[in-house]
Amino acid sequence: SSEALPGVPSTKPAATFVGGSSHSAMDKASSRLSSTSCLSLVLPHCSLERSPPSRDGSRRPKSSGLHATSVTSLPPLADSIHTKRSKKWKGSVLSRVKPLNEAGEKRRFMLDFSHNPQFVYKRSLPSFVRKRYNSPSDELMPLALGIIRNVLRRYGSYEVHEEKNGGRVLSDAECLKTARMYLREQGISDVRVVVSRGLVPFAHMTHDKRGNTVLEMKSGVIREHRIQGLLNHEIGTHYLRARNDKLQPWSSKTGKRLYGLRDKNPTEEGLASLHSVLLRSRGPYLFHSALLYYSACMAHRLSFSELFYNLGQFIGSRDSQWDYCVRVKRGVMDTSKPGRRDLVCFVD
């Protein structure tokens, strides 16, 4: 809609947005939260006119009139890896933290649980990028543990929760069919969908060698009642945000500097996690995000083997325990040493 919201200027240039059909899943998710106004899935038009230079000569974005949307009123975000010009890095973190020898190390570990996997990577991450993930905060540990224990108290075990709320595991063909149907409903035709066995997370957005956008999903783990949330997470949040971003005045490097934009992840990953559970009629809990947060915090203190045993108090499946450990230890070569990666989804 081109109608301006109350209190928001309608001056040009206004932000431009693209999305799916008016009856899409994300629209339904948005309507469920309209009464509390705590989440908006379609951003309002807002003024992005240049303001006069400040005293130091730099330009700052003009206030839109809403305190919540003012860039300068937001609390400080985590430092981006692009903060210093001397340390810009355009590589993909995900492509560099995927262990090449995961299958072999898993076989060895399942024969000897005291073994700490020694992961091998095609290329290592720059040291300044690794440091970005080495300062975990356990501030939300009580909340995460509360979610985990309440869910386990309600269902009895991790496995029962998965079966009752997730439904049956979909075949690769069913995953591809569902994802392609979702893309058609959203009016998206430039995303290719593939299913892979060696993927660490359940799914992620990536690009092939030609630069084409690809949705990659993990084979044999995606359940029938979870795939909608997964698509809301990857396509409805990450992909549409990236596509919309290219249409905005701040899409260039100059625009990002002008409007003081920083790393998107401190907001986007948390929003995507919420989108994963909004439409679930069965158990809309942030159970997996809480488990991942707990695992990440403990991985900073424990070795791979110790973390595996520790997660046994919540997870009965050895395969699932392994998956959580790999998820938070990926990027680490010698997993006998403390260290971790994933934390952002639950924190945000």
pLDDT in tens, 111-129: 999 999 999 888 776 665 5
pLDDT tens per residue across span 227-269 = 999 999 999 999 999 899 889 988 888 888 888 887 777 688 8
Q: Who wins on pLDDT, 253 or 54?
A: 253
User: In this prediction, what percent of the chain has a pLDDT beyond 70?
Assistant: 66
Sequence letter at residue 248: Q
List the end-to-end C-alpha distance of the chain, in Å, as a whole number.
Answer: 29
Q: Tell me, what's the pLDDT at 117?
A: 94
Residue 263 · residue 82 · CB < 8 Å: yes
- Burial (0-12, 13-18, 19+ Cβ within 10 Å), 341: buried
Instruction: Please give the Cα distance from 5 to 163 (Å, whole number).
Output: 43
Kindly indicate the confidence band of residue 20, based on its pLDDT and cuts at 50, 70 and 90: low
Strands (E) across 76-229 are located at: 191-196, 203-207, 213-218
Q: Which residues 6+ apart lie within 8 Å of 331 measured at CB?
A: 93, 96, 97, 121, 125, 130, 133, 339, 341
What count of residues does the chain have? 348
pTM of the entire predicted model:
0.67
Most confident of 41-50, 204-213, 298-307: 298-307
Q: Phi and psi (nearest 5°) for 141?
A: -60, -45
Q: Who wins on pLDDT, 107 or 266?
A: 107
In the residue annotation, 234 being an active-site residue is answered as yes
Distance of CA 70 to the CA centre of its chain: 24
Instruction: Give me the catalytic one of 216, 234, 269, 306.
Output: 234
Residue 98: DSSP 8-state: S
pLDDT tens per residue across span 178-199 = 999 999 999 999 999 999 987 8
pLDDT, mean over the chain: 74
User: Which tokens is 46 given?
Assistant: 């807002």
User: Which tokens is 346 given?
Assistant: 């639950």
Residue 266 · residue 35 · CB < 8 Å: no
Which residue from 14, 80, 69, 60 is spatially nearest to 264, judged by alpha carbons? 80
Q: Does position 47 have pLDDT exceeding 50, yes or no?
A: no
203-207/213-218 β-pairing: antiparallel
